[in-house]
Structure 1
Amino acid sequence: MSKEILAVENIELNVSVKDKEEAIRKTGQILVDKGYVEPSYIEKMLEREELTTTYMGNFVAIPHGTEDAKKAVIESGLSIVQVPEGVSFNGEIVKVLIGIAGKGDEHLEILSQIAIVCSEEENVNQIVEAKSAAEILNLFNEVN
């Protein structure tokens, strides 16, 4: 039985992190804990960030693994970490981290759904100000 790509348990609110690396590790650890990826995927997320930033604008970063990290993906999944105080990604402030693990080419469809939600500043503000994981989940489900 395949899991939900995004479930309430994959969303953490009011997280405080000291830096970009801790933020990425936190985002990746949710994917590991929920069984979407092997632990090695987190290192590949950090490697990806070294190659090119995953900051997307609008206070959003989308950490994900490198191309060769695909073998560490068990099932497609998302994690969302809300950081209301923000964390610096090379000088850009990130308040919403969306971790992605895509099996095969599923990450492309997942990315497009995230892009639709996060392209609207109003939606990003709703995520940053959400008081429950369900609020965030509903926002993403409305796109489908």
Structure 2
Amino acid sequence: MAKEVLSKDNIKLNVSLNSKEEAIRYTGGILADNGYVEASYIDKMLEREELTSTFMGNNVAIPHGTEDAKGMVTETGLSVVTVPEGIDFGDGNIVKVLIGIAGKGDEHLEVLSKIAIVLSEEENIQTILDASSEEEIIRIFSEVN
């Protein structure tokens, strides 16, 4: 049976991280630890970050692997990490919400569009940051169809 794209195990609230690399490794590590990706996918997430920043604005980054990392994805999944103190993603861009993506085949496009809808509402970003439970995060993302 396919895994849930976003489960409680994939969400970590109020984490303290010290650098962009640590943040990407942590976000990717959740996906690897829960069987969505091979561990080597994390290096592809870091490689992607070197090519183009995954900072999206509004304190959000969406780390994901490079195009050639698709073979390392076993299940489509998301990880959500909140970092209230923020992490500098370079150029003064502060990230407080990290959403790691692993998409099997073309499923990442559907997942990205759902994330874009959630994040287009600035109050949703604050709600994610203020969330006190994993269920609250899941509710925010499950309200999008």
Same fold flag (TM > 0.5): yes
Q: 1:78: Cα distance to partner?
A: 0.3
TM-score, normalization by structure 1: 0.99
Percent identity over the alignment is 70
* Corresponding position of 1:56: 56
Describe the superposition over 1:54-97 as per-residue Cα deviations: whole angstroms up to 9, x where unpaired. 00011110000000000100010000000011001112010000
Where does structure 1 differ by over 6 angstroms across 4 or more consecutive aligned residues?
none
* Corresponding position of 1:46: 46
- What are structure 1's unaligned runs of at least 5 residues? none
- What are structure 2's unaligned runs of at least 5 residues? none
Aligned residues: 144
Whether the 8 Å CA contact 1:58–1:119 is kept in 2: the answer is no
Q: 1:9: Cα distance to partner?
A: 1.1
TM-score, normalization by structure 2: 0.98
The letter for the 2-side match of 1:57 is G
Distance in 2 of aligned mates of 1:25 and 1:119: 25
Whether the 8 Å CA contact 1:24–1:45 is kept in 2: the answer is yes
Whether the 8 Å CA contact 1:44–1:69 is kept in 2: the answer is yes
Whether the 8 Å CA contact 1:38–1:74 is kept in 2: the answer is yes
Whether the 8 Å CA contact 1:73–1:102 is kept in 2: the answer is yes
CA RMSD between the two structures = 0.5
